[in-house]
A = this chain, B = another copy of it.
């Protein structure tokens, strides 16, 4: 799995003149291997070859060793014979690997925001004179373009998202609490998946003082409430995202007007997406659309990429000059918030294609 990812990375390292690199960022390791590992783990690059150091209990990691140019070094995890100490076992395994590396002192590519001092000292002990060269963040632009393997996982996630929203729409009723709605959503998704699923994000009644972004608490749904369900389901390490707004009863005239306007804002945002467009320009246009409608402009992002994390490149925010590229998976999520009164947000996911955007999320966001 993820052979394309390793090829693109090997090319990046070659262009940087690096024969040796150590990936310690958990997301980098998962992206380069395609394995939904348990942390911590390391991936050592040496002249075109990738060696994964990860917990022996990871059945997926075994398969990685069968890929061309790849090897897997199992690390002792749970044991009753010695302390459980993954960082020490990783350092030991890295020392063994490094002892066999026959290179003059050189630059070693590192991710210094996740590489620990202990692991770096272990490497330096075997390769004295080596110096760290930062690769921090260098994989992020590569990660922003998804492969078919990644899209398959993401599409399965969105199938579960629809099931979660169907349950959420039914669960939003007068007298139910945010947490009651959430447990219905969670139960529907996990029963369908037949396993635990990591999930997020917001599950909020409109009359909450801060009604934009929050985990469910015991706020009860009251008359004329709106209800934001912003749902991510993580499948095989890949995130989804989505938002719909539901109503305790028939929405008020104001809510209907707001809901329809947010639908229009979302449709407008979608119409702007194509490869080559600048993310900050799309962000600016959608904010202007909200303002022109007479609404307070949402203080959050207009959208963001998703992948191995819930928020990654390309961010659709005021500072970002990145262009959209074919293969990006992005969220668009305009919203209107009247604190303590009502909140409306609608969010969909898209694959950026050669000439526009293909919907990936399919949950029902319509007015009742």
Residues of A within 8 A of B (CB): 80-84, 87-88, 110, 112-118, 120-121, 132, 136, 177, 179-180, 182-183, 186-187, 190-191, 193-196, 215-218, 299-301, 311, 315, 317-319
Contacts and interface: CB of A to CB of B under 8 A. Distances in A.
Most buried by B among A80, A88, A112, A191: A80
A132 B113 contact: no
A300 to B, nearest CB: 7
Nearest to A118: B112
A116 B121 contact: no
Across chains A and B, which 6 residue pairs bring their CB atoms closest together, nearest first?
A: A194-B218, A112-B118, A87-B113, A183-B187, A80-B317, A112-B117
Contacts of A81: 317-319
A196 B215 contact: yes
Contacts of A195: 179, 215-218
A318 B120 contact: no
Contact of A190 (B116, B179, B301, B311): B179
A117 B88 contact: no
A300 B118 contact: no
Contact of A132 (B88, B117, B216): B117
A132 B118 CA distance: 11
Nearest to A217: B195
A120 B116 CA distance: 9
